[in-house]
């Protein structure tokens, strides 16, 4: 019963991530794209944690932790790079 509920929630979050991926692809600004990619990564992280509870496998939490750290570092690095470059818009 609880596994079915968590599976439905994971699917809803995945569909929401597709909507955010559209925002990351379309823009209109570079900030929107960076934020969209960050949101998609965060939603993927939540889905990995939900899969951990569904499958009752604790090693997925290790993967989620590493993914969260990598997501944070990449977001900060891209933001700093774009800040140094002046947030030029891509046509």
Query: Quick check: 45 and 75 in contact, CB under 8 A?
Result: no
Of 82 and 65, which is predicted with more confidence?
65
Domain ranges, ordered by start, for the chain: 2-85
pTM for the full model? Answer: 0.81
Q: Does residue 2 register a pLDDT over 90?
A: no
Of 36 and 90, which is predicted with more confidence?
36
Average pLDDT over residues 16-26: 90
Helix (H/G/I), strand (E/B), else coil: 74: helix
| pLDDT score recorded for residue 16 | 92
Average pLDDT over residues 72-79: 90
> What is the C-alpha end-to-end distance of the chain, expressed in Å?
48
């Amino acid at each position: 019963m609880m596994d079915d509920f968590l599976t439905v929630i994971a699917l809803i979050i995945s569909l929401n991530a597709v909507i955010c991926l559209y925002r990351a692809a379309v823009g209109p600004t570079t900030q929107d794209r960076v934020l969209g990619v960050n949101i998609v990564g965060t939603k993927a992280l939540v889905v990995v944690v939900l899969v951990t509870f569904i499958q009752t496998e604790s090693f997925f939490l290790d993967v989620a932790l590493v993914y969260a750290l990598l997501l944070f570092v990449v977001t900060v690095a891209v933001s700093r790079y774009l800040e140094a470059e002046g947030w030029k818009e891509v046509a």
